[in-house]
Amino acid sequence: MAEDSGKTKYYVLMEELKQDIVSGKRKPGDRLPSENELSASCHVSRHTVRKALSILEQEGFIEAVHGRGTFVSRKAGGKRGSGNIAVITTYLSDYIFPRLIQGIDSVLTAGGYSIILKNTGNSRLKESKSLEEILEKDIDGLIIEPSKSEIMCGHKGLYDKLDFYKIPYVFIQGYYSQMKKKPHILMDDCMGGYLVTKYLRELGHKHILGIFKADDIQGIDRHKGYVKALQESGLSYDPDMVIWFHTEDRTVKPSEILKYLLEEGKEIDGIVCYNDQIALEIIKTLEKNGLSVPGDISVTGYDNSFIAENGMVKLTTIAHPQERLGAMAAELLLEKIDGIPDEESRVERILKPELVIRESCRDRRE
C-alpha cells in the first residue's frame, strides 16, 4: 500500500481498491482477497482492512456473500437502456441556461431520451447531493456543468462510481483538473477575453480594468485572454487593475471595489467584465458615480445575452452559442452511450467566440 501521510491508512487502502475496480483491474464478480490476506499484503491491521471494505460496500463497489467472501459488485457495466439522461447545471433561471437546455433537449428528444434536470446553485454540496440522487436512479448518461470548476473536486468518488457503473458523462462550461481527460464541451474563453480586450486597445483605451470570477475555469481563462491582449499591445499587466470575485460575493464585490477605485482616483477608461450580468451592474455603479457609458468609460460584457441587447446600454460582448453548446454536449454523450471509443471521438470540443460590437465602447484614439 502506498504511503500517504495526509490520509488515514484505511482511506488510502479504500482508494487503491476502488481504483483497481474502476479501472477494470478487478472485474465484476471477482473475489477479493480475504481480510487476513489484505492485512498481510498491505501491512495494515485487520481493523484497517475492515474499515476500507466497509466504505466500498456502502458505496456499492463490492458485496459480501455470507460463507463465500467479498466480491466486486456485478452491477457494474450492466446494460441500462432506461432512456433517461440526467442534466445537472449550476443554475436553471440564469440568462444562459434555458437556451443551453433547449440545445440539449433538441438532440436527446430526437434520440428518444428523456431529461432528468437538476441544478446546484454553483454549490459543491448540492452537486454532491445531485450526483448521489441520480446514482439512485436508472440513467443512461449525464451532462454536467461542474460547480466552481477551478477548485479541486472533493467528491471525485461519485464520478468514480459513474465510471464503475459505466455511465458516461460529459462536462460543459468547465471541468475539474482531476478529470481533464473526460469528455467536455467548452467555449474558448481565453480567446473571448482576448477579443474584447484587443478591441478596447484598438479603440485607444490605455487604462483597462478587468473583472473576473476566481472560482471557475471560465473566469481564469477570460483573464488569461485579457492579459495576453494587454501584453501584445504593449501595455504592462497591473494586478491592481483586476477585480477578482467568487460565486458568493458576485452581486456585491465587483461594484464595491469599483466604487472604491473611483473614489481613490484610479484612472480607468475601459472595463472588461466577466459576463453581461456583471457589466450591467458595473454600468449602474458608474452612473451612480456620475460617469456615463461609453462617454467616460467603455464597458464590455460576455455571453451576448438578453441583457446585452436590451439593457440600459447595448453591450459590446462575446457571442455565446448556448443552444449549439448544449446540442454538441448531447451529441458527444450519445457517442459515448453508443460505445464509440475516445480515440475515434474527440473528448474535447471547443467553440470559438465571436465579438459582437454594439454601443458600450467609444473610440478614444486621438
- Quickly list DSSP for 135-150: HTS--SEEEE--TTTT
Q: What is the pLDDT of residue 165?
A: 85
Residue with cell 455565446: 320
Amino acid identity, residue 178? Answer: Q
| pTM of this structure | 0.80
For residue 18, the enclosing domain spans: 9-72
Q: Residues 214, 307: one domain?
A: yes
Mean of all residue pLDDT scores within the chain: 91
**Helix (H, G, I), strand (E, B), or coil: what is residue 243?**
strand
Q: Above 60 in pLDDT, residue 5?
A: no
Co-location of 202 and 313 in the same domain: yes
Q: How many domains does the chain have?
A: 3
Whether 96 shows a pLDDT value over 80: the answer reads: no
Question: What does the pLDDT read at residue 79?
Answer: 47
Separation of alpha carbons 161 and 159, rounded Å: 5
pLDDT of residue 6 exceeding 90, the answer is: no
d(CA 366, CA 357): 21
Mark which of 282, 305, 320 sits at the end of a domain: 320
**How far apart, in Å, are the Cα atoms of 186 and each of 212, 270, 329?**
17, 27, 9
Amino acid present at 110: A
We report the CATH number of the domain holding residue 37 as 1.10.10.10
Q: Are residues 316 and 195 in the same domain?
A: yes
- The percentage of the chain sitting over the pLDDT mark of 90, rounded to a whole number, equals 75
Domain boundary, last residue among 279, 302, 320: 320
pLDDT(78) > 80: no
Q: Give CA–CA dist 225/100, Å, rounded.
A: 24
The verdict on residue 364 lying in a domain is: no
Q: Are residues 150 and 198 in the same domain?
A: no
CA distance 52 to 9: 9
- Residue 201 domain-assigned (yes or no): yes
- Structural domain contains residue 363: no
Point out the domain boundary residue: 46, 72, 98.
72
- 243 and 193 in a common domain: yes
At 75 the pLDDT is 65
What CATH number should be reported for the domain holding residue 258? 3.40.50.2300
Q: Tell me, what amino acid is at 279? A: A
Same domain, yes or no: 30 and 55: yes
Q: Do residues 217 and 175 touch, judged by C-beta distance below 8 A? A: yes
- Domain for residue 345, yes or no? yes
Q: Which three cell numbers stand for residue 117?
A: 434536470
Q: What is the pLDDT of residues 285-314, one digit of tens each?
A: 999 999 999 999 999 999 999 899 998 899
Q: Are residues 129 and 209 in the same domain?
A: no
